[in-house]
Amino acid sequence: MAYKDLREFMEVLESRGLLKRVKTEVDPELEITEIVDRISKGPAEKNVAILFENVKGSKMPVLINAFGSYERMSLAMGVEKLDDIADELREMLKLPYVSLQNKMSVVTMIPMIKRAVNFPKYVKSAPCQEVVETENPNLDEIPILKCWPEDGGPFVTLPLVFTKNPKTGKRNVGMYRLQKYDSRTTGMHWHIHKNGAENYRDMEAAGGEKIECAVAIGTDPVLTYAATAPLPRDIDEMVFAGFLRHKSVEMVKCKTVDIEVPATAEIILEGYVLPHESRIEGPFGDHTGYYSLADEYPVFHITAITHRENPIYFATVVGRPPMEDAYLAKATERIFLPLLQQMLPEVKDINMPIEGVFHDCCIVSIKKQFPMHARKVMHALWGMGQMMNVKMIIVVDDHVDVQDYAQVAWRVFNNIDADHDLEIVHGPLDVLDHSSPMAKWGAKLGIDATKTWPEEGHAREWPEEVATPDDIKARVDAKWKELGLD
């Protein structure tokens, strides 16, 4: 299903008992974080989305933890489970071979293409512009959270940042945190590896006066997810969102900048970033569970704030996992697996553990077909987009369930020879990685936990795994109830 806006998603959550309203006054400085941290790390049955209706210093309610479980993440995407999206994508990728002998292929492709491509639809008026403030836009009216004690200030944590590349005019939508400096300016946390930063550098290189930006807060949940997805630069996130929701995204032009934004967003910030202007941004308590360090980042100047009548401020808290952002990352793991398998068909499954905060560890199972095949997969993964930041890759054979940590640990602990099965390489690392002696790059570890072949230098006989035959398992299954052991 496609939600028309964030509010419809909230209605679904509330109807299922997955959203709680809190009427007690709460402070956006540190207090909301402590509440959400307890909920995120507490019993599963207590882990719900929360709407804080009485936030100190603001008339706006705060919605938080809306994506904070597999169930809510699946509901956000309009599916029963996240793998349903991957299964649909697999079907889309099975495009029939077109030839003179297979004339029906073109006809078969038409409905697939219609499902895959839902271009944005542009409208002239929109809910996100029910209230327009261009004379005195004021961030102080928004209950922006200060999450952790050493944070450099309050941060907008679920912003969809829209820019256009000055050379191509192509749209980029990314999720880059915004530190509030005052009522009219914020930081713009463009990591060096991100497409938003590339657009900014292109503007500087071309001698541009500024790069226009718009920030959408509180969108249909699929749009919010799409801003986090690791898409290639030339793939429009709003077209990708249209594919995921099976319906075009309605967009409206901003009031003071030449950018279109989601029509049903709760709040829009409009403005610009100047070339060669920077300011200290951070520290920020990040999803690694540590503070990312303060550094120089561009400055976002706000020219207008538009919003719906009685807007809802949509936010998240990041910190030591598990937190809400882990489930956004897990959605990416499942959705993008079929695309990874298109390039590496030997891959059966992947698991990027929540504890590895997505960019620190990747476990992958492969159908091993030749000597050093695991090494080939490691290096291929390190060469794919944001996978370049993965610090540790563990490769196991295809019969190993990578979602079962105990299975993986058993293979790693028992199968590796430290002299032959560990591979250390150097390359880019996530900006948030604090463990490397150098910022933004360092060493990565590949662990080959597959069965070692004689051709890989293992002259000894490799033992068989201990296992019960299937016929014995079936006989025990048949008499299990009468054994009275349940």
Give yes or no: residues 412 and 289 share one domain.
Answer: no
Closest CA to 173 of 263, 248, 247, 233: 233
Provide the 10 A C-beta neighbour count for residue 98. Answer: 13
Cβ atoms 391, 433 nearer than 8 A: yes
Query: What is the rounded end-to-end Cα distance, in angstroms, of the chain?
Result: 41
The DSSP secondary structure of 144-163, one letter per residue, reads PBB-STT-SS-EE-S-EEEE
Position 484 in a domain:
no
Name the amino acid, one letter, at 479: K
Instruction: Indicate the helix (H) or strand (E) that contains 376.
Output: helix 373-382
Residues 182, 292, 150: CA angle, nearest 5 degrees: 60
Catalytic residue among 286, 325, 421, 433: 286
> Domain holding 151: CATH number?
2.30.110.10
Residue 202 falls in the annotated catalytic set: no
Closest CA to 436 of 288, 297, 285: 288
Residue 88 has a pLDDT of: 87
The torsion defined by the Cα of 116, 122, 127 and 131, in degrees rounded to 10, comes to: 140
Position 337 in a domain:
no
Give yes or no: residues 45 and 116 share one domain.
Answer: yes
Give yes or no: residues 274 and 364 share one domain.
Answer: no
**Residue where one domain finishes, among candidates 292, 314, 336:** 314
Position 333 in a domain:
no
Position 461 in a domain:
no
Position 467 in a domain:
no
Give yes or no: residues 51 and 144 share one domain.
Answer: yes
Give yes or no: residues 147 and 205 share one domain.
Answer: yes
Burial (CB count within 10 angstroms: exposed 0-12, middle 13-18, buried 19+), residue 8: middle
Cβ atoms 255, 270 nearer than 8 A: yes
* Beta-sheet pairing, 250-253 with 121-123: parallel
Name the amino acid, one letter, at 155: F
Position 323 in a domain:
no
Domain that holds residue 200: 6-314
Distance (Å, whole) CA 352 – CA 361: 6
**Residue where one domain finishes, among candidates 314, 332, 357:** 314
User: What count of Cα atoms within 13 Å lies in the side-chain half-sphere of residue 71?
Assistant: 11
Give yes or no: residues 250 and 356 share one domain.
Answer: no
- Cβ contacts of 411-416, under 8 Å, gap ≥ 24: 411/449, 412/447, 412/449, 415/449, 415/450, 415/451, 415/452, 416/447, 416/448, 416/449
Residues 70, 75, 80: CA angle, nearest 5 degrees: 80
Q: Structurally, how many domains does the chain consist of? A: 2
Burial (CB count within 10 angstroms: exposed 0-12, middle 13-18, buried 19+), residue 447: buried
> Domain holding 371: CATH number?
3.40.1670.10
φ, ψ dihedrals at 152, nearest 5°: -65, -15
Give yes or no: residues 301 and 397 share one domain.
Answer: no
Give yes or no: residues 283 and 189 share one domain.
Answer: yes
Position 258 in a domain:
yes
pLDDT tens digit at each of 486 positions of the chain:
689 999 999 999 999 999 999 999 999 999 999 999 999 999 999 999 999 999 999 999 999 999 999 999 999 999 999 999 999 888 877 755 445 455 545 555 555 555 667 899 999 999 999 999 999 999 999 999 999 999 999 999 999 999 999 999 999 999 999 999 999 999 999 988 888 989 999 999 999 999 999 999 999 999 999 999 988 888 899 999 999 999 999 999 999 999 999 999 999 999 999 999 999 999 999 998 999 999 999 999 999 999 999 999 999 999 999 999 999 999 999 999 999 999 999 999 999 999 888 788 999 999 999 999 999 999 999 999 889 999 999 999 999 999 999 999 999 999 999 999 999 999 999 888 888 888 889 999 999 999 999 999 888 898 988 999 999 999 999 999 999 998
Closest CA to 447 of 405, 410, 387, 396: 396
Residue 98 has a pLDDT of: 47
Residue 486 has a pLDDT of: 85
Distance (Å, whole) CA 393 – CA 387: 10
Helix (H, G, I), strand (E, B) or coil at 18: coil
Provide the 10 A C-beta neighbour count for residue 400. Answer: 22
Name the amino acid, one letter, at 126: A
Q: Tokens for 277, please give them.
A: 């202007």
Give yes or no: residues 13 and 148 share one domain.
Answer: yes
Residue 90 has a pLDDT of: 85
Distance (Å, whole) CA 55 – CA 52: 6
Look at phi and psi of residue 444 and say left if phi exceeds 0, alpha if psi is from -120 to 50, else beta.
Answer: beta
Residue 91 has a pLDDT of: 81
Residue 430 has a pLDDT of: 85
Give yes or no: residues 74 and 198 share one domain.
Answer: yes
Name the amino acid, one letter, at 149: P
Q: Tokens for 443, please give them.
A: 């060493």
Provide the 10 A C-beta neighbour count for residue 27. Answer: 16
Provide the 10 A C-beta neighbour count for residue 431. Answer: 19
Give yes or no: residues 310 and 355 share one domain.
Answer: no
Cβ atoms 13, 71 nearer than 8 A: no
Give yes or no: residues 257 and 303 share one domain.
Answer: yes
pTM of this structure: 0.91
Residue 190 has a pLDDT of: 94
